[in-house]
Structure 1
Amino acid sequence: MYLKIHRIQGKGEIVAVCDRELLNRTLCHGDITIHVSEKFYGTEEAGEAEVALALKNAGNINLIGNKAVSVAIECGILPEGAYILIDGIPHAQIYQA
C-alpha cells in the first residue's frame, strides 16, 4: 500500500492510503471519476501495521483499494460495508472527531 499524510495548518491531517496496484490509475463509475495520483496518495510504501497506526491517529482518512479498506475494517475504524465501489474498487472517506 501507499501512504501519505497531508498536514494542513490549523485543520489537522488527512491520511491517504491506496493499494499498490491502483497508483496512477483512473477509476470511473457513472459520474464519479477518481485518479489515484502520486500527488495525493504518495510514493512511500507502507505495511499493514504502519497504515493501521496512521489510521488510528487520523482525523480525516481517504482510502481506496481492497487492502486499504480491509485494514480500516480490521482496526475497527470503518464498519463492514461502509464504503462505495468505484469501478468495482472499494473507496471510503472517514471523518473522526
Structure 2
Amino acid sequence: MYLKVHRIPGAGEVVAACDSELLDVTLMHGDVEVCITREFYGTERVAEEDVRRALAGADNVNIIGKRVVALAEAMGLVNEEDCIMIGDVPHAQIFRI
C-alpha cells in the first residue's frame, strides 16, 4: 500500500492511502475520471501496520482499493455501503467531526 499524510495548518491532517497496484492508474466510471497520483497517495510503499496506525488517528481519510478499504472496514471505520465504486474499485472518504 501507499500512504501519505497531508498536514494542513489550522485544519489538521488528511490521510491518503491506496492499494499498491493502483498508484499511477486512472480509473474511469462513466464520465468520471479518477487519477491515483503519487502527489496525493505518496511515493513509498508502507506496511499494512503503518496504514492501520495512520487510519486509527486520522480526522480525515481518503482511501481507494480493495485491500485498504477492507482494512478500514475491519477497523470499524467504514462500511461497504459507505463506499463509492469506481468500476470494481472501492473508494471511501471518512470525516470525523
TM-score (norm. length: structure 1):
0.95
Counterpart residue identity of residue 78, structure 2 = L
- C-alpha offsets along residues 58-90 of structure 1, whole Å, 9 cap, x if unaligned? 011000000110110011111233201102100
Counterpart position of 1:57? 57
- What is the identity percentage for the equivalent residue pairs of Structure 1 and Structure 2? 48
Q: 1:83 aligned to 2:83? A: yes
Counterpart residue identity of residue 44, structure 1 = E
Segments ≥4 residues shifted beyond 4 Å: none
Q: What is the root-mean-square deviation in Å for CA atoms of aligned residues?
A: 0.9
Q: 1:28 aligned to 2:31? A: no
CA distance in 2, matches of 1:24, 1:58: 24
CA distance in 1, matches of 2:36, 2:80: 23
User: Displacement of 1:47 after TM fit?
Assistant: 1.5
CA distance in 1, matches of 2:31, 2:84: 14
CA distance in 2, matches of 1:87, 1:26: 11
CA distance in 1, matches of 2:82, 2:76: 12
Counterpart position of 2:9? 9
CA distance in 2, matches of 1:80, 1:89: 12
CA distance in 1, matches of 2:96, 2:44: 24
Gap regions ≥5 residues in structure 2 = none
User: Displacement of 1:31 after TM fit?
Assistant: 2.5
Q: 1:18 aligned to 2:18? A: yes
CA distance in 1, matches of 2:59, 2:28: 27
CA distance in 1, matches of 2:48, 2:57: 14
CA distance in 1, matches of 2:88, 2:49: 25
